[in-house]
Structure 1
Amino acid sequence: MPPRSARPGHPLSAHIASVLAIDPDAGAIDFGGSWTSWGQLGTLARSVADLVGRLNPEPTPRAGILLRNTPEHVAAFLGVLLAGGTVVVINPSRGDERTRDDIAALALPVVIGTGPDLNKLVAGSASTSVVRLDAIPAEPEVIAEATEKPSAKPTSEDAPSPVAVHMLTSGTTGPPKRVELGYDMLAHSVLGEPGKRIDTPTKLSSGAAIVNAPLVHIGGIYRILQCIVAARPFALLGRFDLDEWARAVRTHRPKAVSLVPTAVRMVLHSDLTRDDLASVKVVTSGTAPLSVEDSEAFTDKFGIPVLTSYAATEFGGGVAGWSLADHKRYWADKRGSVGRASGGAQLRVVDENGTVLRPGESGLLEVKPGQLGPDVDWIRTTDLGKLDADGFLWILGRADQAIIRGGFKVIPDVVRDAIESHPAVAGASVVGRPDERLGETPAAVVELRPGATATSEEILAHLGGRLARYEVPTELVIVDTIPRTPSGKADLRAVRDQLAGAAR
């Protein structure tokens, strides 16, 4: 029996189903050197779709997935979409207690995961069915079926687009929250605008992509969907590992790769050479700020331009970015920008009262994301930015993270950039620390490059000619590892804990 759909024939679900059937015997996912075929991926996805539909009779059946970067989790994700359901993203790496509390609060009709995660994190419930994933080609198994199921409710054809994914935000400053990504929004992002959408491929794409972003982050979800809708095989990394990533690049010779800024710095400061990255013509980078110095150093070392972008989970994807043509023409004059509006987005910068500012003036960024449709209102962000007369956007920092030191405003990203310009520094994170006299002062944790040495005093001296006196951190602690979220951003709550521990 074919899987049902909350919107029969929805372009995204129909497109996925068609791609999975193109060439079942061909390789779809290279995971650690072992291939999962399109047929194996499709078989498990359809099995998950059928189970989700049977276990949850809601028109848009919700299913929580304890997502990890493995082929079976990719299949489970696709299966819920084939069922016309909603994937509720659960991050099993947030800590057992927090994850258990999250699952209990969600009260989901269906929870899907591997045996070890389910054993640790999912308690029995009369209203929750539990589905275990084993390694492909094993079929999913219902290990606990709910005795109290939600009732089916009719839905009309003119009802709003159902939610495809309840996506977790990165949670850098507080607990992650979930953002609704609708089927129409995802289809706009990966298939194109209605009426201009890409045709369903009739054969597989040549060459494989590399997916190293975590599936619990929107970057990983989009990379997976982009590969699937293009019928493109891909190498999937369990996490970003420099040696495994380099193996995948040498094996599959992709023309483009995507790296978060932390990974850009790891590759930049590695022993890899231009020959190792010979196939790569462009690197895209997002999720967090990348300094101009790192971007240009990467290009100088490998001969590859780095195209930065600006996106947010709340926007359903990217709203600004560099194109290769813009980079060739404008980089020298626009260095440090995150590019121009993309994907039909509109951008503007306003003051605190909402007055639109002139080109070059700094203020709060507001966005109309193209993927949310033509009637969406302006969305005010917490990002400080400026636009020039050519439409290029600079992100200057987070307004809600600004540190006010005795009346002077300190932007943590500016301080972080200056610290990371030290040749021994692999990464840094800057937060505000309470001060009885000044209100707050900047404090930093610093991670050194492997084999490098530097003292806190040497790094602070390095900042003397790069920052104003009030911007220089009053505390600078060298740590083994900066705690990070799955998307590669520094976890600011954990950073504050590190600093508090160092002060004891």
Structure 2
Amino acid sequence: MAHPLTERIERVLALQPDAHALEFDGHWCTWGELAAFAQRIGAHATAGQHVGVLLRNRPQHVATLLGLLLAGATLVVINPSRGEARTRADIAALDLPVLIGAPDDLSTLADPSPHTTTITIRGLDQPPVAGPAAVPKHTAAQPGVAVRMLTSGTTGPPKRVDLTYDMLAKSVLGDVPAAVRGGVAIVNAPLVHIGGVYRVLQCVCEARPFVLLDRFDLRTWAAAVRTHRPRAVSLVPAALRTVLHSDLTRDDLASVRAVTSGTAPLSADDADAFTEKFGVPVLTSYAATEFGGGVAGWSLADHQEFWTAKRGSVGRATLGARLRVVDDDGQPLPADRAGLLEVKPGQLGPDTAWIRTTDLARIDVDGFLWILGRADQAIIRGGFKVLPDDVRAALESHPAVQGASVVGRSDERLGEIPVAMVELKPSATATDRELIDYLSGRLARYEVPAEIAVVAEIPRTPSGKADLTEVRRHFEQDARA
């Protein structure tokens, strides 16, 4: 028996095959075109099978996502923008039975094993091309898991979080649509992140046409808003600040009644400035891949009633989530006491254990949640998590580098940016530009430090560790100079 999520996708794709479904780069494709490509993809997958996809924001990648879900398979997210060396290593370690991607990505980033069938996708108007595995092998299926989403842990290397069909269904299934809806949504979140997958599936399950952007770009985003006049838009804090500091006017956003914003902290001052400039309330939220999506957020009704008194909060528990704040020993704290946030996401079911986060928080007597900071050293750059140890290790792999220290520095637009202090080996030479170029093929663009200071000696504590306070002070003084 098909899962309710699969049934909904199948039903929507068949509602009005000739109607507009997805606009990309100024061209519309229909629901029927998405369905036909999805069926071709599904023919290459079996229920529970792990299928790696080098995901990009393209119509054929959306159809690939839908095709794998229709087949009951597990889409293993592979981010082609993480750097060539790491992407190749990731693909090799996964040793997947099936790997799907665009021609350039497969030729540049993938060196699949003899056990892997590769499927090349070019466009919705061209059938996928399969390159059969030389030595196929059976791999254990994982029924029930829809997407293995790549994320970064708070410590150590990136990991994958399993998003089950049940979790996705609880987040995106609402009333069954009888026809394709009026109005057009805008999707600018990347499909390699949970926000992009959820936004696409929400549109599909609602039978709502949408514009798919390759990435957030102010000019193309504003043009889409003016053309399609959506009532609600979603902007990560970095994108919201870009809009805020642009020359756009209220007329440009005249149709918008609310902006949702998540993935990273957004200051109350920025939220209020946006509302002041455009007359549009900003509804912040709190989510994580590990939770299977959102667990707290503002509703429009709550914003109208409580924002003045609760400004800066990320809202109240949503989607059946339970929230609490605990001390270092895991004991629950009373209202308005700061501590570590623990969550029981509604998407994971009632029997889920409390999930300990690395966020410091407080919850007031009305259930509003404030995120006060991070208990770890992770840097959130425009919604992307950067682990300082990953960047440090990449820097220290350079033959001229003796040691490195990476910290976050406040940034008006992105929230935080990584910066690095580097100590060279005796007699070695390397410029900051050379080091940045070295990192560009080893890290994702958002992980590459915005500034690298080459110093004679990194300040250290008596134990020999880098003195992060002094490193931060160096960059703060440099920013004020």
Find the counterpart in structure 2 of residue 366 from structure 1.
Answer: 342
Please give the per-residue CA displacement for 1:417-452, whole angstroms capped at 9, x wherever unaligned.
Answer: xxx9xxxxxxxx998999xxxxx9976265789xxx
Where does residue 9 of structure 2 map in the other structure? 16
- Does the 8 A contact of 2:98 with 2:117 survive in 1? yes
CA distance in 1, matches of 2:372, 2:38: 43
Structure-to-structure mapping, 1:265-304, within 5 angstroms = 265-304=241-280
Question: Secondary structure of the residue that 2:451 maps to in structure 1?
Answer: helix
Determine if the alignment matches structure 1 residue 213 to structure 2 residue 193: no
Deviation at 1:172, TM superposition (A): 8.0
Equivalent in the alignment of 2:451: 498
- Per the TM alignment, residue 147 of structure 1 is displaced from its structure 2 partner at its CA by 2.8
Query: Does residue 1:137 correspond to 2:133, yes or no?
Result: no
Q: How does 1:119-158 map to 2 (within 5 A)?
A: 119-150=107-138
Whether the aligned pair in 2 keeps the contact of 1:430 and 1:442 (CA below 8 Å) is: no
The corresponding residue for 2:73 is: 85
Residue identity matched to 1:12: L
Say yes or no: does 1:166 pair with 2:166. Answer: no
Q: Report the Cα offset of residue 166 of structure 1.
A: 0.3
The separation in 2 between residues aligned to 1:373 and 1:382, in whole angstroms, is 22
1:9–1:503 distance in 2 versus 1, CA, 3 Å? farther
CA gap 1:364/1:171 in 2 versus in 1, 3 angstroms: closer
1:220 deviation in Å? 0.2
Query: What residue identity is the alignment partner of 2:299?
Result: S
Deviation at 1:161, TM superposition (A): 6.0
TM-score (norm 1): 0.77
- In the alignment, structure 1 residue 181 sits paired with structure 2 residue 163: yes
Deviation readout 1:217-272 (Å, 9 max, x if unpaired): 00000000000000001000001010000111011100000000000000000011
Q: What do residues 148-206 of structure 1 show as CA deviations (whole Å, max 9, x unaligned)?
A: 231687xxxxxx96110000115687532100111111111111xxxxxx343220011
Tell me which residue corresponds to 1:323.
299
Does the 8 A contact of 1:109 with 1:146 survive in 2? no
CA shift at 1:126, angstroms? 2.0
User: For residue 34 of structure 2, what is the amino acid of its counterpart?
Assistant: L
Structure 1 SS opposite 2:115: coil
Aligned to 1:338: 314
Q: Which amino acid aligns with 1:106?
A: L
Alignment of structure 1 residues 396-415 onto 2, 5 Å: 396-401=372-377
Task: Go from structure 1 to structure 2 and tell me whether the alpha carbon gap of 1:151 and 1:360 turns closer, same or farther (over 3 Å shift).
Answer: closer
Match of 2:222 among 243, 246, 258: 246
User: For residue 318 of structure 1, what is the amino acid of its counterpart?
Assistant: G
State the 1:52 CA deviation: 1.7
1:430–1:102 Cα change, 3 Å:
closer
Amino acid at match of 1:62: H
Tell me, in whole angstroms, the C-alpha distance in 1 between the residues paired with 2:44 and 2:213. 27
Letter in 2 for 1:27: H
Q: 1:95 aligns with which of 83, 89, 93?
A: 83
CA deviation after TM superposition for structure 1 residue 343, in Å: 0.3
Is the deviation greater in 275-284 or in 142-151? 142-151
Q: How many Å apart are 1:144 and its aligned residue?
A: 3.4
Once residues 501 and 90 of structure 1 are traced to their aligned partners in structure 2, the CA distance between those partners, rounded to angstroms, is 33
Matched residues in 1 for 2:224 and 2:272: separation? 24
Instruction: Work out the percentage of aligned pairs sharing the same amino acid.
Output: 59
Aligned to 2:94: 106
Q: Which amino acid aligns with 2:119?
A: V
**How does the TM-score come out when normalised to structure 2?**
0.81
Q: What secondary structure sits across from 2:171 in the alignment?
A: helix
| One of 26, 29, 33 as aligned partner of 2:19 | 26
* Structure 2 runs not aligned, ≥5 long: 393-404, 415-431, 437-443, 458-481
CA change 1:503–1:113 in 2 (3 A) is farther
Q: How does 1:479-498 map to 2 (within 5 A)?
A: 491=446, 494-495=448-449, 498=451
Shift of 1:118: 0.6
- Give the whole-Å Cα distance in 2 for the aligned partners of 1:123 and 1:390: 54
Alpha-carbon distance, 1:75 to partner: 0.3
**Given residue 247 of structure 2, which amino acid in structure 1 is its aligned partner?**
D
Secondary structure, in 3 states, of the residue corresponding to 2:448? helix
Name the CA distance, whole Å, in 2 between partners of 1:133 and 1:109.
Answer: 17
Q: Distance in 2 between the 1:147 and 1:206 partners?
A: 49
The count of residues paired between Structure 1 and Structure 2 equals: 417
Kindly report which structure 2 residues correspond to 1:66-85, keeping only aligned pairs within 5 A, or say none. 66-85=54-73
Q: Distance in 2 between matches of 1:129 and 1:281?
A: 47
Cα drift, residue 146 of structure 1 = 4.3
Structure 1 letter corresponding to 2:9: I
* 2:420 is the counterpart of 1:444: no
Distance 1:441 1:144 in 2: 44
Change (3 A) 1:13 1:311: same
2:149 aligns to what SS in structure 1? strand
